[in-house]
Amino acid sequence: MKKIFILTILLSSFTFAQTTIKGKIVSKEEPLAFASVFIPKLNIGINADENGQYILKDVPKGEYTIHYSFIGFKTQKKNITTTNENQLTVNINLEESHSLDEVVVTGTLKAVSRLETPVPVEVYTATFLKKNPTPNIFEALQNVNGVRPQLNCNICNTGDIHINGLEGPYTMVTIDGMPIVSGLSTVYGLSGIPNSLIERIEIVKGPASSLYGSEAVGGLINIITKSPETAPLIYADVFTTSWLENNIDLGAKYKIGKKVNSLLGINYFNYNNPIDNNNDNFTDVTLQDRVSVFNKFTFNRKSEKELSVAGRFFYEDRWGGEMQWNKDFRGGNQVYGESIYTKRYELLGKYQLPVSENMYASFSYTNHDQNSVYGDILFLAQQEIAYGQLTWDKEIKNHDLLLGIAYRYQYYDDNTTATIQSEKSKISSFFIQDEIKLAKKHSVLLGARYDYNSVHSSIFTPRIAYKWKPSPNDVFRINVGTGFRIVNLFTEEHAVLTGSRDVIITENLNPETSYNINLNYLKKFQFENGIHSVIEFSSWYTHFENQILPDYDTNPNQIIYSNLNGYSKTYGVTGNLELIFPFGLKTMLGFTLLESKNKRNGITSTPILTEKFSATWGISYDIPKWYLSIDYTGNLYGPMRLPLLGSLDPRSEYSPVWSIQNIQFTYKKITHFELYGGVKNLLNWTPNKSNPFLIARANDPFDNDVVFDNNGNATATPNNPYALTFDPSFVYGPNQGIRGFLGLRYILN
């Protein structure tokens, strides 16, 4: 009996032996209160206490990987083996992964820590994009402070991106530093960049023409794609909304032989459910059928130098208009519709030269074909842009030099009377930049770019930046620079084509020039209770000459384009606050106050569609015990002046204060999967709620019943008491109310 009892005890100890794992989680010898500890294989986890101490009890015998994580720090994985010991001690030191330590390339065309660059650069990672899932990059930027996606048409939902109150054409969008989104694609190309392929987005607010040339007047958005080496093996993200918007993102990496790594991404978006909630017989949201295929290759060279090539194909069929419209009415004058077919090819690459010096050759090529109709107006356009650039990065004592040459060729043709024959332009460029370290805490950046344009001859754009870093957690920057922009109305101004206003171009349009000064201060805090914070403030002033703005005021029935006889200016202040708490809470808050004025022929006015103030926020809360994350995001915009059609127009001259708010819940218990869902536009806000109508004369889109006087102006009649013509340009926010969404992500590393 005694032997049986002893044997039972031994078998019991062998079979059910379990281990207690304990330890302390710190960073720089400071405890990380409430850090997360998780064993995926067992689906068990716990949070550390306020002293960073943790205890995992009753861990069975076996081999496991423990994940230690904390917001703002790099996740660390520790492999352990539990045997028959009663206790195992594992202490962990986590490293900070704050965005200030990220390497950025946009501000100076070279890799540098975000905290060290003399040019302020904001970074938004793929994690940021997941907090409010969208089918394209255009919508994803709605929660970036000082950046506003602006819809320009109630019918086809064309849009552009405003930075600090400046119109969309002043914002340059690049992919991996190459000018992909420009010209024709500024109107529709932004909707075709799949979020699943984005590693991060770097944003520079203010002129960047000295490095990037024309179009980078108001700011620069550089979309950096994932590397095939670090991307997940397989990635899938599928979601749908209660409006029956369906989005599919698929990604996979693979090898071709031993020397080629490849990343394939496919995006498909479909919305084919006409909705007219405001009862004007026009679609509230444009219907779309879109596919984008992206493939990126990196090559392993013996020299270990960089070589990458990427290509993308994009096709979209979109339409909006009267609810009874179908393709049989395309281009006719019986039922109004705006139908756009877009086909686009892109190619870009980067090659590090096989020399001892640090030299890179980069190139991009785009081919854009647009077949569109706006009612009975046919607009056919083709555009090709080829761009090549060679840079040399050289350090000489306290000088960090960057020299470059670039060449841009553009071919453009359309069927409008403004383009009698195809247009070809060539721009040859030379730029130089020198960052001089004056002392340990002081540096200055000098830069200049010279462009020779085959149409507008010589253009010179200098800039200077100064950085003072009085402590490791403080940085102060001053940037002064100039910018220029060459305007093509028929590729950048959608109002030229839609509606019934006459377009008047009074002169040959000269390039716009701007002068800008930007002050920036950033401070990083780390409190004893484990709270981390970053505060950043900027103020700016931009002065324009020769600016080309649509004049809606001189004659409400016309849009007059000319170089501004006077000047334009915009100035303001912006701030960002980021707080990371030790119990899984992260908050981001941003605000922008701005003023914009035009002086034309001695008369000062406020430009249309420029907000007085804006705010953005994001609140994220992780609950490891429930495998749940909650994201609450939103934005708020102050009044903007709106484009009315005359003194009798009953619509509001200024927009109200309005806000779009969203909430999302993400469940992460299932290995490799994330299930997410939530509600967009919680307040159910739409712009029609404060106006009698949005589209002028929606009941008569071809102006059949409009009476005009001898000067071509609409006159008031019993059938048209407000003397209006058909016009869909009265738009300042998305015309899509509250809706639910549900999605599933699959990630296999």
pLDDT tens-digit series, residues 51-82? 788 988 888 888 888 888 775 667 788 888 88
Q: Is the pLDDT of residue 106 over 70?
A: no
Residue 259 structure tokens: 């020397």
Contact 240, 289 (CB under 8 A): no
Task: Report whether 662 contacts 679 (CB < 8 A).
Answer: yes
Of 184, 492, 194, 222, nearest to 367 by C-alpha is 184
Distance CA(713)–CA(253), nearest Å, equals 60
CA distances from 479 to 209, 222, 474, 534 (A): 13, 19, 17, 21
**Mean pLDDT within 343-370:** 92
Residue 501 DSSP label: P
Q: Which has the higher per-residue pLDDT, 498 or 74?
A: 74
Tell whether pTM > 0.85: no
pLDDT at 701 over 90: yes
Q: Could you tell me which residues are beta bridge partners of residue 290? A: 269, 316
Residues 6+ apart with CB under 8 A from 16: none
Q: Which residues pair with 56 in a beta bridge?
A: 21
Taking alpha carbons only, the member of 225, 231, 213, 202 closest to residue 107 is: 202
Q: Is the pLDDT of residue 636 over 80?
A: yes
Nearest to 614 by CA among 149, 206, 125, 140: 149
Q: Is residue 602 part of a domain?
A: yes
Q: Which residue has the tokens 């990635």?
A: 235
Tokens 């001695």, residue located: 602
Choice among 258-267, 298-307, 410-419 with the minimum mean pLDDT: 410-419
**174 domain residue, yes or no:** no
- pLDDT (tens digit, 9 = 90+) per residue, 516-533? 899 999 998 877 777 888
In this model, does residue 312 exceed pLDDT 60?
Answer: yes
User: For every residue of 74-134, which 3-state class applies, written as one string?
Assistant: CCEEEEEEECCCCEEECCEECCECCHHHCEECCCCCCCEECCCCCCCCEEEEHHHHHCCCC
Residue 421: pLDDT over 50: yes
Inform me whether the pLDDT recorded for 395 exceeds 80. Answer: yes
Residue 13: what pLDDT?
43
Among 135-144, 357-366, 485-494, the minimum mean pLDDT is found in 485-494
Provide the number of structural domains found in the chain. 2
Tell me how far apart the alpha carbons of residues 665 and 539 are, in angstroms, rounded to a whole number: 36
Instruction: Give yes or no for a contact between 208 and 216, defined as CB atoms under 8 angstroms apart.
Output: yes
DSSP-based three-state secondary structure for 331: coil
Residue 109: inside a domain? no
DSSP, collapsed to helix, strand or coil, labels residue 496 as: helix
CB atoms within 10 A of CB 561: 20
Examine residue 116 and state whether it is found in any structural domain, yes or no.
Answer: no
Residue 442 has what pLDDT? 92
DSSP 700: -
End residue of a domain, out of 33, 61, 93? 93
Name the residue with higher pLDDT: 41 or 263: 263
Domain CATH for 536 = 2.40.170.20
Mean pLDDT (the chain) is 83
Q: Which H, E and C letters describe 151-189, residue by residue?
A: ECCCCCCCEEEEECCECHHHEEEEECCEEEECCCHHHHH
Average pLDDT rounded to a whole number, residues 291-305: 89
**Residues of the domain holding 242:** 234-748
**What CATH number is attached to the domain comprising 48?**
2.60.40.10
- The answer to whether 266 touches 236, Cβ cutoff 8 Å, is no
Model confidence at 580, pLDDT cuts 50, 70, 90, reads confident
State yes or no: pLDDT of 315 exceeds 80: yes
Residue 567: pLDDT band (50, 70, 90) is confident
- Is the residue at 229 inside a domain? no
What sign for the dihedral angle of Cα 8, 11, 14, 17? Answer: negative
pLDDT bin (cut points 50, 70, 90) of residue 44 is confident
Q: Distance of CA 380 to CAs 36, 58, 189, 275, 490, Å?
A: 57, 70, 16, 28, 11
pLDDT computed for residue 99 by the predictor: 52
- Decide if pLDDT at 667 tops 70: yes
- Output phi, psi for 155, to 5 deg: -105, -55
Domain assignment of residue 160, yes or no: no
**Cβ-based neighbour number of residue 127 at 10 Å:** 9
Q: What is the mean pLDDT of residues 21-32?
A: 81
Going by the DSSP 8-state scheme, the letter that residue 375 receives in this structure is T
Instruction: Give the Cα separation of 26 and 35 in Å (integer).
Output: 9
Name the nearest CA neighbour of 734 among 687, 692, 693, 696.
687
Q: What is the dihedral of CA 173, 178, 182, 183, to 10 degrees?
A: 170
As to burial, measured by CB atoms within 10 angstroms (0-12 exposed, 13-18 middle, 19+ buried), residue 628 is middle
Instruction: Give the pLDDT of residue 478.
Output: 93
Q: What is the pLDDT of residue 10?
A: 43
CA terminus-to-terminus distance, the chain: 55
| Residue whose C-alpha is closest to residue 169's, from 152, 153, 193, 157 | 152
Backbone angles phi, psi at 50, to 5 degrees: -65, -15
Range with lowest mean pLDDT among 45-54, 564-573, 627-636, 677-686: 45-54
Distance CA 492, CA 481 (A): 24
pLDDT at residue 307 in the model: 92
What are residue 583's phi and psi, to 5 degrees? -115, 30
In a domain, 78, yes or no: yes
Calculate what percentage of the chain has a pLDDT beyond 70. Answer: 85
- Backbone dihedral angles phi then psi of residue 14, each to the nearest 5 degrees: -70, -40
Is pLDDT larger for residue 4 or for residue 399? 399
Q: Are 718 and 630 in contact (CB under 8 A)?
A: no
Cα separations in angstroms, 556 against 376, 499, 654:
22, 12, 16
β-bridge mates for residue 123, sequence order: 202
Q: Which residue's structure tokens are 């950096």?
A: 224
Structure tokens at 106: 């946009």
Could you tell me the sign of the dihedral formed by the alpha carbons of 159, 161, 167, 168, in that order? Answer: negative
Which of 175-189, 213-227, 360-374 is the most confident on average? 360-374
Using one digit for the tens of pLDDT, what is the confidence trace for 237-275?
999 999 999 999 998 989 898 889 999 999 999 999 999
Q: Are 622 and 584 in contact (CB under 8 A)?
A: yes
- pLDDT of residue 553 exceeding 90, the answer is no
Mean pLDDT value across residues 663-685: 93
Give 11's pLDDT tier (boundaries 50, 70, 90).
very low
Nearest to residue 384, comparing CAs of 345, 349, 354, 417?
345
Among 38, 69, 93, give the residue marking a domain's end: 93
Mean pLDDT of 407-426: 81
User: What letter does residue 508 receive in the DSSP assignment?
Assistant: P
- The structure tokens listed for 369 are 């074909």
At 467, the pLDDT band (50, 70, 90 cuts) reads very high
For the cut 90, the answer to whether the pLDDT of residue 499 exceeds it is: no
Residue-level pLDDT at 420: 67
Confidence at residue 504, expressed as pLDDT on a 0 to 100 scale: 62
Residue 683 lies in a domain: yes
What's the confidence (pLDDT) of residue 677? 97
Domain endpoint, select from 73, 93, 113: 93
* Own/partner long-range contacts of 428-431 (Cβ < 8 Å, ≥24 apart): 428/452, 429/213, 429/404, 429/405, 430/404, 430/405, 430/406, 431/210, 431/211, 431/402, 431/403, 431/404, 431/405, 431/406
